[in-house]
Structure 1
Amino acid sequence: MGLKKHLRNIDYPLFTIIILLSLFGLVMVYSASFVEAGLDPNINDPAHYFKRQRMWLMLGLIVFLFMSIFSYRSLRGLTKVLLYTTIVLLLLVAFTGLGVEVNGATRWINLQLFLFQPSELAKIGMVLYFAHVLTKKEDRLHSFKDGLLPPLIILIIVFLLIVAQPDLGTATSIIAACGIILLFAGARFIHLFSLATVAIGSVALLIFGANYRKSRVTSFLEPFQDPSGESYQLVHSLIAIASGEFSGVGLANSVQKAGFLPEAHTDFILSIIAEELGFIGVLIVVIAFMVFMYKGILIAKRAPDQFGRLLALGITFQIIIQAIINMGAITGLMPITGITLPLISYGGSSLLITFFSLGILMNIAIKGNIKRGYQVEDIEETYTDNRIRSVK
């Protein structure tokens, strides 16, 4: 494909949303972290997290541009490699000494230059795998044994490996995204209903089968019963949101980020947005994600093939589900799971994988636009030929 044709068919509204959310996130990472970074004797640089996020953003944009050019159809041949790599990395985190523990969870591998989170790779890996295998088995989806069981076994393995870290939030978001792919792939309703029932029951058992997960659920339901204990983060998140009121206390003027609200620049960055920019700031973020979801669904609808359609839906809803879980957690509508807000929260692995996924989504959009362009040209040529014949 020529560069001019490529640029002509870029989905510019999607690109604009991605860039605006990323730049807004960069600003808010600095605002949410400069106090902590400046006071930390091991860092002693207010712009530390901002500089690192800026670096990841630049690398992410390079990855995004490359993946928007790289044909998404070529990924089908790499699906198994990516899947096996993901499973191996998750096994290394779970069963070897390579896993790095941060805040009580072992989710990272130390690559010397940075910490990499394999569960982030699992998000796009499972979406790719499900889109590929369900397209391949399109004529067998009515059969549970032949059509659905093989990918479900892989999904269960990945789910359990991520839960073991522990990271129930990411594991749940992956199951939800894969479930959406199953729905649009054409799986039978009875199978989907049964799987959803089993999934919800399993998550409930996992929650109430471990005391720390159970305490998180009870603290989310009644946060002010233990404001200095398990509910500490949620209580201070709610204080930040309440303090912002309609228009906020002003950019960089948050009080909660000054040692009160942990993970202010990662999991709880939306709380700082609410405090500093108020309801208006949060509303803008919500609208941006809603527009993104609309664009993602439209791209899926216009995709040239079934694989592109399922892949676009999986990527779109993986990001949207992650955003919903994050927003639900910081407002007390859902348990706190440690999931970041896509494109806005601080985090190298998350940002790189998100841009990798969005690059694929953009490539599907470009292929769809080119296909639609050809169809329009064919219609115009047919109309012109008919007009010429009628005149003759």
Structure 2
Amino acid sequence: MKRHLKNMDYPLLVIILLLSLFGVVMVYSASFVYAGIDPNISDSAYYFKRQRLWLMLGLAVFFVISMFSYRRLGQLVPIIFIVSIIFLILVAIPQIGVVNNGARRWLDFKLFLFQPSELAKIAMVLYFAKAYTNKQDRLHKFNDGVLPPLLILGGVFFLIVLQPDFGTATSILISCGIILLFAGVRLIHLIGLGAVALAIAAPLIVFSEYRMERLTSFLDPFSDPSGDGYQLIHSLIAIASGEINGVGLANSVQKSGFLPEAHTDFIMSVIAEELGLLGVLFVVGMFMIFMYKGVLIAKRAPDQFGRLLALGITFQIISQAIINMGAISGLLPITGITLPLISYGGSSLLITFAFLGILMNIAIKGNIARGYNREEEPDTTNQTYQTAK
């Protein structure tokens, strides 16, 4: 315990705390009006209190997992993967999956709603990092080394798209793609896979009225201002209203019944309106520093599994942030994906903290292996790497 605490990456911890505490404040600011007028909620601080509870649980998950060796976690990949697949199948069953806003994405565990696609994020990143670590000597062979994990990814992608949740499916695709890229797969195979991915994605969009409406509203929201373009238009109004300094914390107009999902999908719009460009730069800056730290942790990881896992976790979180911020600003289609650590949501927050706990453990093991604590644990980087291969 003492050795782990001594070797924690404290700059990473500071970034996590700043973003998550900032998120709790903004959830309250973005939700108290909505909670106050909801006849089913008697407390205007309802979402704030729940987010605060989830944050405390998330921090507990983070610290516990940060002390649990990521190598041992790698041994649990089959169990985690099977459980996530079972949950994804269960949520697709009409009598079991909970429908909200036209999407069947949740399982009702009475005390809370759980989103199985969140668990699938961890399962797929762990699976890809483990699979391509074990296949290091076969990556030059497409059928034997590269293809099998991709078939699994395709199945998971299909199950999540069925919900429909194209945003989460895309973020998983990106993080697994990053792992594939840095695992050492041949360039010709990567180019071919990219072409196949585009060939599969295009029909999914073109032949889906729901996704085509999302795409067309993103390209020209003012063509249907009271329908598909409504959310984006009010998001843009919120962003424009904030200017440099914002209208002031808790003073957003758009959250007062105009901007749907102000405390979840569109919380960044409220941040832009209330805190202005300065608030946006703070959030973007924190995520950029987080990405730098994540890549640095991957570079210093003591073995290939840790390296690929750190990269997958980092870009899973960063891709979510990019998709969310791109959607609320009109640069990307609206997908319903939340902003990590900041948006309201229990299962998404817990899974994000689980991810961050794994990343912190990789940082701890990397620090120990690099000799920050040589008297307690020798540098075993080379031996560990050879074992992983």
TM exceeding 0.5: yes
From 70, 75, 78, give the equivalent of 2:76.
78
Q: What is the SS of the residue equivalent to 1:26? A: helix
* CA–CA separation in structure 1 for the residues paired with 2:207 and 2:175: 24
Output the CA distance in 2 between the equivalents of 1:200 and 1:123: 21
**Structure 2 SS opposite 1:337:** coil
* Aligned-pair Cα RMSD in Å: 1.2
- Which residue matches 2:385? none
The CA distance in 2 between the partners of 1:76 and 1:340, in whole Å, is 27
Aligned 8 A contact 2:368 2:374 in 1: no
What secondary structure is seen at the aligned counterpart in 1 of 2:99?
strand
- Percent identical among aligned pairs is 72
- After TM superposition, the score normalised by the length of structure 1 is 0.94
Q: CA deviation at 1:353?
A: 0.2
1:236 corresponds to which of 234, 237, 262 = 234
The superposition leaves residues 169-217 of structure 1 with CA deviations (integer Å, 9 ceiling, x where unpaired) of 1001101110100000000111111111111222221111111110110
CA distance in structure 2 between the aligned counterparts of 1:110 and 1:179, rounded to whole angstroms: 31
| Partner-residue secondary structure (3-state), 2:107 | strand
Residue 22 (1) aligns with residue 20 (2): yes
Structure 2 regions of 5+ residues with no counterpart? 377-389
Shift of 1:96: 4.6
Counterpart of 1:223 in structure 2: which amino acid? P
- Name 1:384's counterpart in structure 2: none
Amino acid at match of 2:181: L
Match of 2:198, SS state, is helix
User: Counterpart of 1:339 in 2: which secondary structure?
Assistant: coil
Provide Cα deviations, 1:82-115, integer angstroms capped at 9, x if missing partner. Answer: 1111111100111351100000000000000000
Letter paired with 1:109: L
* Residue-by-residue CA offset, 1:257-316 (whole Å, 9 max, x unaligned): 000000000000000000000000000100000000000000000000000000000000
**C-alpha distance in structure 2 between counterparts of 1:185 and 1:360, whole Å:** 19
Asked whether the 8 Å contact 2:7–2:372 carries over to 1, the reply is no
Partner residue, 2:257: 259
Give the match for residue 379 of structure 2: none
**Count of aligned pairs:** 376
Larger Rg over CA atoms: 1
1:320 lines up with 2:306 in the alignment? no
2:136 to 138, 155, 158: 138
The residue number in structure 2 matching 1:11 is 9
Q: CA deviation at 1:377?
A: 7.5
Q: Which residue of 2 aligns with 1:297?
A: 295
- Which runs of no fewer than 5 residues in structure 1 stay unpaired? 379-392
Q: 1:1-392 counterparts in 2 under 5 A?
A: 3-373=1-371
In 1, the alpha carbon distance for the partners of 2:163 and 2:177 equals 22
Superposed structure 1 runs of 4+ greater than 6 Å apart: 375-378
AA aligned opposite 2:62:
F
1:226 positional shift: 1.1
- Matched position secondary structure for 1:101: strand
1:36-95 deviation digits (Å, cap 9, x = unpaired): 001101002110000000010000000000000000000121101111111111001113
Deviates more, 1:157-166 or 1:366-375: 366-375
2:343 and 2:82 map into 1 onto residues whose CA distance is 28
| SS at structure 1 position matched to 2:76 | helix
SS of equivalent residue, structure 2 residue 44? coil
